Amino acid sequence: DTEVTQTPKHLVMGMTNKKSLKCEQHMGHRAMYWYKQKAKKPPELMFVYSYEKLSINESVPSRFSPECPNSSLLNLHLHALQPEDSALYLCASSQDGDPLSEQYFGPGTRLTVT
Partner 1 sequence: GQQLNQSPQSMFIQEGEDVSMNCTSSSIFNTWLWYKQDPGEGPVLLIALYKAGELTSNGRLTAQFGITRKDSFLNISASIPSDVGIYFCAGSTITDSWGKLQFGAGTQVVVTP
* 82 near partner 1 (CB under 8 A): no
State yes or no: residue 111 binds partner 1 (CB under 8 A).
no
Shortest distance, position 81 Cβ to partner 1, whole Å: 20
52: alpha, beta or left, given left = phi > 0 and alpha = psi -120 to 50? Answer: left
Among residues 21, 25, 33, 46, which is the contact residue for partner 1, using CB under 8 A?
33
Report angle CA 106, 33, 70 to the nearest 5 degrees.
95
Residue 31 CA: distances (Å) to CA of 11, 43, 64, 89, 99: 25, 17, 19, 17, 10
| Among 1, 16, 40, 59, contact with partner 1 (rule: CB under 8 A) | 40
Point out which residues bind partner 1 (CB under 8 A). 2, 4, 6, 31, 33, 40-43, 45, 48, 50, 55-56, 88, 90, 92, 94, 97-100, 102-108, 110
